[in-house]
Amino acid sequence: MLTIGEFSRLTHLSVRTLRRYHEGELLEPAVVDGATGYRYYSVEQIPTAQVINRLRELDVPLSDVQRILRTPDPGVRSTLVAGHLRRLEAELSRTRAAVTSLRRLLQPDPAPIEVELRAEPAREVAAVEAVIGHADVEAWFAGAMAELQAAVGAGRTGPPGGNYDNSLFEEGRGRVLVYLPTSTPPRTGRVHAVTLPAAELAVTTHVGEHEGVDVTYGELGAWVVENAMSVAGPVREVYLVGPRDVSDPAAWRTEIGWPVFRVT
């Protein structure tokens, strides 16, 4: 048997941590001396302690660590670990995007963006729309786009897009509409035909992950203000190239259309 100090040195888990894991029934000593309260561990517990240590290094919550250790089903264990790894990868992706955006913002002389003034005609599309909170856009978008793709299928005639009301940014809640162009918009579930009205737009292209799109929004909005053009209506996005097309975020392209009162 190993004392708690010896077990600590062998597993690189502090005595304090081992005591906390015992109290939380995560890693219980093999023996607790009834008279002294001293904790003793077996050599066979070392691998378990090392697994716990690795999982905690990955910020797996203690409740999930407990579930991983207690389930006898290898498939369930793999699913739990894989789910957490996906969350870590998503967080890493957000961090990378934030770093890229920050570097872009801190450049002493950023390159001016290219803006095209464009008159968009009215057109009919298959769409899903709802009034949602800003924090819910990502999850709602994924579900709505999946529903659209299932409904439209091979009938798609162009890249997907989305319209975002000003209130979504100003008040944190507003109407969002995502769509797929198609010659015959179906009506099924939440999918229905919508006519996008004609609009005059100041258009630029955001390169890379969508998490950094706010920087491009700021640059485009500044361009609009500096060129003395009145702004009206929802912002339009067109997802020219995205994760459904290529896996490399550097290849993703999002077209942002800022409605302007008049294009001359």
Is the Cα torsion angle 232, 114, 169, 192 positive or negative in sign?
A: positive
Looking at the structure, tell me whether residues 87 and 201 fall in a common domain: no
Looking at the structure, tell me whether residues 201 and 242 fall in a common domain: yes
Rounded to whole angstroms, the Cα distance separating 218 from 177 reads 21
At 243 the pLDDT is: 87
Instruction: Give CA separation, 121 vs 35, 59, 185, 263, in Å.
Output: 85, 50, 17, 14
Rounded to whole angstroms, the Cα distance separating 118 from 256 reads 12
> What are the pLDDT digits (tens) for 162-194?
999 988 888 889 999 999 999 999 999 999 999
Rounded to whole angstroms, the Cα distance separating 263 from 158 reads 25
Number of H-type helices and E-type strands within the chain: 8, 11
| Total domains, the chain | 3
Looking at the structure, tell me whether residues 121 and 252 fall in a common domain: yes
> What are the pLDDT digits (tens) for 96-128?
777 776 776 676 666 678 999 999 999 999 999
Instruction: Please report, for the domain that includes residue 34, its CATH number.
Output: 1.10.1660.10
Strand, helix or coil at 133?
strand
Strand, helix or coil at 227?
coil
H or E element that contains 120: strand 116-120
> What are the pLDDT digits (tens) for 43-63?
999 988 988 888 888 888 888
Looking at the structure, tell me whether residues 176 and 134 fall in a common domain: yes
Looking at the structure, tell me whether residues 133 and 258 fall in a common domain: yes
Both tokens of 226, joined, read 């500096």
> What are the pLDDT digits (tens) for 58-71?
888 888 888 888 88
Looking at the structure, tell me whether residues 149 and 232 fall in a common domain: yes
**Cβ neighbours around 212 below 10 Å, total:** 22
Looking at the structure, tell me whether residues 141 and 253 fall in a common domain: yes
Q: What's the number of CA atoms in the CB half-sphere (13 Å) around residue 26?
A: 22
Looking at the structure, tell me whether residues 162 and 237 fall in a common domain: yes
DSSP string, 171-205: TSEEEEEEEEEBSS---BTTBEEEEEPPEEEEEEE
At 264 the pLDDT is: 53
Residue at which a domain ends, from 54, 86, 108: 108
Instruction: Please report, for the domain that includes residue 175, its CATH number.
Output: 3.20.80.10
Looking at the structure, tell me whether residues 125 and 104 fall in a common domain: no
Q: Which domain holds residue 145?
A: 116-262
Looking at the structure, tell me whether residues 66 and 187 fall in a common domain: no
- Burial code of 63-89, b = ≥16 C-beta within 10 A, e = fewer? eebbebeeeeeeeeeeebeeebeeeee
Looking at the structure, tell me whether residues 138 and 219 fall in a common domain: yes
**pTM surpassing 0.75?**
no
Looking at the structure, tell me whether residues 43 and 136 fall in a common domain: no
**First-to-last CA distance in the chain?**
85
